[in-house]
């Protein structure tokens, strides 16, 4: 009989037990699209900002109830109508062990206001940040700002020394240039980047230097990119992943009936809409030469009246969409249900409008659409094609991954004639989409106004809304702005989508209406 020494027996037992412990401490989830970059200044996009908020942190963050709470700042006050003083949290360390100070805050603000930053809009009200001492910093705004604190929640602070050491003191445009910060990250947050395989897998682990308490959050989180919906669902059903972020509507019933799995869903603050190029004299993808059909409000109205959003929400999205006629929905300050009334579908009227505008036979145009970003995004665009064909507008659909899509339609090129996009107001206030999506582009305002819509009367209201502290007056101006946008058919709002995730029953996560996914709230029973 072979005798095994006690020490060897204990070693074998340890080897047997260790993988079980590791499994319990690791959370694996999958989405259909990847984070575009590790640099928080490169894109105003929820998936990217949500992921990076697990590594980098703002001065002010949102809790599980989406209320504001201290993060890298412990407190703040206004020393004048245009000056906010932040008292920074003492003892905070960067993930490389160096101290966090006011120098990092001042540096980050300058960085996000740089030319190639796509996070300029939320901070454009700030004139400058001034270091008072290592743990005190003043933000001076150009004018009083009634939503200043809300705007801070996406100002993810970066290390001045780290950026300088890696030649990343200014952000670069994704797809146009490259630097170290696009592929690497080093923050103060609860998790640190361990490995990065673009379009495949990104792994983070707990940051032992984090200033806050983890509770029972997992030690390790693996974010997997599985673009195929059937494969993503299969990964959940087989136990390969603990949660999937994007659930195809047609698979919801199947998952609900599967033992050990559950469906999580909540209304989202994001509005999905169609935008038009209204700035260029000619649309490159169109067969109309010498002029731009979308400059004519009659053409834009014709498009709006041809789209049966009720059918899209019920048949394509299987009920996971709330049709809307405003660019922000319930839950956003400034939403007015009385103005949220979609015009009735009327293809005959659409044809009349096209004829009046000089296009009795319609025209051809390209439509840019993501295929891995929103609920049933490509399917929605596919459904819109025959709706517009009924009125003579022949649409060439260009569905693409979000990394290509955002690079194509966004700044600096704004290379799109007609597009579908979604937007969640980061401040939970109507001023955010007005300023960012609908204001005339001027280097600060209109940063994601990819179609180049411009109305001076709207711009004037946007500036006034941005400084008005009387809430009744402010709401009246937001209503005026809404009416201008609707009359101009500046965009075609479609719906607010419902967030649908699926997870194992032993998983508890915070499913927030802004679609952020903080790993610190994950619990595995």
Written as one string, the DSSP assignment of 394-411 is EEEEEEE-HHHHHHHHST
CB–CB of 71/211 below 8 Å? no
Mean pLDDT of the chain, nearest integer: 93
pLDDT value for 39: 97
3-state class (DSSP) for residue 140: strand
pLDDT value for 115: 83
pLDDT value for 118: 86
Backbone phi and psi for residue 483, each to the nearest 5 degrees, phi listed first: -65, -40
Task: List all residues 6 or more positions away from 463 whose beta carbon is below 8 Å from its beta carbon.
Answer: none
CB–CB of 276/418 below 8 Å? yes
Task: List all residues 6 or more positions away from 341 whose beta carbon is below 8 Å from its beta carbon.
Answer: 325
- Per-residue pLDDT averaged across 246-265, rounded? 93
Q: Which has the minimum average pLDDT: 94-98, 203-207, 441-445, 488-492? A: 441-445
Residue 108 lies in a domain: no
Structural element, H or E, at residue 236: helix 229-237
Confidence of residue 124 (pLDDT cuts 50, 70, 90): confident
3-state class (DSSP) for residue 51: helix
pLDDT value for 22: 39
Tell the burial category of 484 from Cβ atoms under 10 Å away from its Cβ (0-12, 13-18, 19+): middle
Q: What does the block give as tokens for 50?
A: 């949500």
Instruction: Look up the domain containing 305 and give its range.
Output: 268-499
Task: State in Å, rounded, how far the first CA of the chain is from the last one.
Answer: 42
Angle subtended by helix axes 347-356 and 297-306, to nearest 10: 160
% of the chain with per-residue pLDDT over 70:
95
> What sign for the dihedral angle of Cα 373, 375, 379, 382?
negative
Which residue blocks in 360-423 are alpha helix, DSSP H?
A: 377-389, 402-409
pLDDT in tens, 139-188: 999 999 999 999 999 999 999 999 999 999 999 998 889 999 999 999 99
Residue 411 lies in a domain: yes
**DSSP summary character for residue 450:** T
pLDDT in tens, 340-365: 999 999 999 999 999 999 999 999 99
CB–CB of 396/284 below 8 Å? no
Give whole-number Cα distances, 179 to 171, 172, 175, 257, 469, in Å: 8, 7, 11, 47, 41
pLDDT in tens, 392-410: 999 999 999 998 999 999 9
Residue 93 clears pLDDT 90, i.e. is over it: yes
> Domain total for the chain?
1
What is the residue whose two structure tokens read 């929905």? 329
Confidence of residue 1 (pLDDT cuts 50, 70, 90): very low
Alpha-carbon span 201 to 68, nearest angstrom: 31
**DSSP summary character for residue 314:** I
Task: List all residues 6 or more positions away from 138 whose beta carbon is below 8 Å from its beta carbon.
Answer: 79, 83, 84, 85, 86, 129, 130, 132
Residue 17 clears pLDDT 70, i.e. is over it: no
Residue 354 lies in a domain: yes
Give whole-number Cα distances, 60 to 64, 73, 141, 154, 287, in Å: 14, 7, 17, 9, 50
Residue 93 lies in a domain: no
Pairing of strands 220-225, 73-80: unpaired
pLDDT value for 7: 37
Pairing of strands 363-370, 393-400: parallel
Residue 111 lies in a domain: no
Alpha-carbon Rg for the chain, nearest whole angstrom, is 24
Q: What does the block give as tokens for 289?
A: 């030469």
pLDDT value for 109: 97
Residue 324 clears pLDDT 50, i.e. is over it: yes
Q: What CATH number did the domain enclosing 418 receive?
A: 3.10.105.10
Q: What does the block give as tokens for 263?
A: 């469906």
**Long-range contacts of residues 162-171, Cβ cutoff 8 Å, at least 24 apart:** 162/94, 162/96, 162/186, 163/107, 163/111, 168/39, 169/107, 169/111, 170/111, 170/114, 170/115, 170/116, 170/117, 171/39, 171/41, 171/42, 171/111, 171/112, 171/114, 171/116, 171/117, 171/118
Alpha-carbon span 460 to 158, nearest angstrom: 34
Residue 82 clears pLDDT 80, i.e. is over it: yes
Q: Which residues make beta-bridge pairs with 131?
A: 137
pLDDT in tens, 276-292: 999 999 999 999 999 99
> What sign for the dihedral angle of Cα 87, 92, 98, 104?
negative
Alpha-carbon span 524 to 504, nearest angstrom: 9
Residue 472 lies in a domain: yes
Q: Which of 249, 225, 160, 282 is nearest to 401 (CA)?
A: 225
Instruction: List the helix and strand counts (H, then E) for the chain.
Output: 16, 19
Residue 249 clears pLDDT 60, i.e. is over it: yes
The distance of Cα 417 from the centroid of its chain, to the nearest Å, equals 22
Residue 85 lies in a domain: no
pLDDT value for 147: 92
3-state class (DSSP) for residue 363: strand
């Amino acid at each position: 009989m072979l005798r095994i020494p006690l020490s060897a027996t204990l070693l074998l037992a340890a080897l047997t037990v260790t993988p079980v412990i590791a499994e319990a401490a690791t959370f694996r989830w999958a989405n259909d699209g990847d984070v575009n970059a590790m640099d928080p200044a490169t894109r105003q996009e929820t998936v990217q900002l949500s992921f990076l908020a697990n590594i980098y942190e703002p001065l002010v963050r949102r809790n599980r109830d989406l209320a504001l709470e201290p993060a890298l700042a412990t407190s703040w006050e206004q020393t004048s109508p245009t000056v906010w003083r932040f008292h920074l949290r003492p003892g905070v360390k960067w993930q490389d062990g160096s101290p966090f100070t006011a120098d990092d805050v001042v540096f980050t603000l300058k960085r996000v206001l740089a030319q190639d930053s796509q996070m300029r809009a939320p901070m454009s009200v700030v004139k400058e940040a001034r270091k008072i001492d290592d743990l005190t910093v003043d933000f001076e705004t150009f004018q009083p700002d009634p939503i200043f604190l809300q705007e801070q929640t996406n100002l993810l602070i970066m290390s001045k020394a780290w950026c300088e050491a890696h030649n990343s003191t200014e952000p670069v445009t994704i797809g146009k240039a490259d630097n170290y910060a696009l592929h690497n990250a080093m923050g103060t947050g609860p998790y640190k980047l361990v490995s990065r395989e673009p379009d495949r897998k990104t792994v983070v682990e707990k940051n032992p230097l984090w200033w806050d308490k983890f509770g029972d959050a997992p030690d390790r989180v693996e974010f997997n990119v599985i673009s195929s919906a059937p494969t993503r669902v299969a990964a959940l059903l087989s136990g390969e992943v603990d949660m999937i972020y994007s659930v195809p509507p047609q698979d919801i019933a199947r998952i609900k009936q599967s033992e050990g799995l559950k469906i999580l869903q909540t209304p989202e603050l994001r509005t999905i809409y169609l935008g038009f190029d209204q700035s260029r004299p000619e649309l490159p993808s169109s067969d109309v030469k010498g002029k731009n059909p979308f400059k004519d409000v009659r053409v834009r109205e014709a498009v709006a009246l041809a789209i049966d959003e009720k059918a899209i929400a019920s048949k394509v999205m299987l009920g996971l969409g709330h049709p809307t006629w405003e660019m922000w929905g319930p839950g956003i300050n400034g939403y007015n249900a009385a103005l949220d009334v979609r015009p009735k579908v009327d293809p005959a009227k659409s044809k009349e409008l096209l004829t009046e505008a000089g296009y009795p036979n319609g025209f051809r145009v390209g439509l840019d659409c993501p295929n891995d970003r929103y609920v049933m995004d490509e399917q929605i665009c596919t459904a819109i094609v025959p709706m517009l064909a009924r009125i003579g507008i022949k649409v060439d659909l260009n569905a693409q991954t979000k990394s290509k899509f955002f690079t194509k339609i966004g700044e600096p090129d704004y290379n799109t004639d007609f597009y579908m996009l979604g937007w969640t107001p980061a401040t939970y206030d109507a001023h955010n989409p007005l300023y960012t999506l609908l204001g005339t582009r001027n280097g600060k305002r209109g940063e994601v106004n990819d179609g180049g819509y411009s109305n001076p009367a709207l711009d004037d209201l946007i500036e006034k809304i941005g400084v008005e502290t009387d809430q009744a007056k402010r709401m009246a101006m937001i209503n005026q702005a809404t009416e201008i946008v609707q009359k101009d058919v500046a965009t075609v709002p479609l719906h607010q989508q419902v967030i649908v995730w699926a997870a194992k029953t032993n998983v508890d996560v915070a499913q927030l209406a802004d679609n952020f996914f903080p790993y610190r709230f994950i619990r595995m029973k």
